[in-house]
Structure 1
Amino acid sequence: MNQVDQPWVYIVLFGLVFIIYAKIIPRTSATKGQANPTLHEIEEAMEHFTAELDEQNKALIQLLAETKRDYEVQTAKLTSRLEIVEKQSALTNQELNKLGFAYEELQKKAAHQPEKVPVVELQNTRVEEKIVDVEDLPVAMNLKSRYEELFSLFEQGKSVEYIAKKLNMNKGEINLIFQLAKQEEKLNAH
């Protein structure tokens, strides 16, 4: 019986496997049918995302190119300005060197010829420098003798306002005369 039972077991087992397989195949095909639309949607989403990334990359590349152009233009402008400033600086330094050399030459000439009065020419005008002693000034330049009444009133203790009214002068003029008189006294003291 063992031998006869064996083919029957195989047939039964084969039948069961066939039935189970028949039941599984429709389910997997149904699952495959549902998986295809989901896979298709994922592919579309990925393509859309890729297209957006490409657009953003193109916009970014264009922005970088414009920024680079602007940078190059600004650099060129600044370079030209710098060159102009350097040229002006070089010219200014040359002029300063010439003036310094001319000044040294004048100093050397002035040191060798002290008895001559240095003359400075400004366009068509001649200006002479002279050293004048206070003692050589005429008597009219002596402020105390010139404004004798003003100093007399001041020594009596009168106020600047009183002196201005009495002598018909401005207070500022009186104060200026007093300051000049003080300077004159200092020069005479030396």
Structure 2
Amino acid sequence: MNMQPWGYVALLGAFIVVMSWTLPRRKAEQPAAQVTNNMEIALEQFMENMESDNRELVELVKRAQTDNAEQLAIRERRIIDLEHRCAELESRLEKVMVQPVLGQVQTAAPQAVDAAVVQPLADAQEVPVPRDTIRTRYPELFELYNEGKSIDAVARKLNMNKGEVQLIIQLAKQEEGVRA
């Protein structure tokens, strides 16, 4: 079926005419006043929805603030209770630590407890306990590093990662800076 171009145009025109009869007719355009009225109604509904959403958000924020304030008050009370308990336990510990020391002094010479004997015992308890430092935990590492070995060489020698060695050295430097 080989048609001429004018045949295609005629066939297309007939198709358009048939389709126009079968398709439902559109309603006449609404007047501008009706369109404006519909827009106003839609905007009012939108504004009402926004206002109700805003009210809900405000209530949610208020509830969250009151919950946070209550939790903060509970935590504050708990901290205070724990501080009191800690102070009480420290005082008990001091009593327990002092009683055996004084008991030893009294059993040795109950009639002659003089301040010259009690004072050295009190001073002995105040001697600071040596703190565990990074340098004391990794003596081999710092010995090799102080000999001038590179971080790679130290890591290989001690079967450690290079990053781990660097971290330990940096932490030791920070620790020394804090103590200085």
Q: Whose RCO is larger (CA < 8 A, sep 6+)?
A: 2
Whichever of the two has the greater Rg, that structure is 1
The TM-score with structure 2 as length reference comes to 0.49
Instruction: Give the number of the structure whose residues are more often strand, by fraction.
Output: 1
The TM-score with structure 1 as length reference comes to 0.46
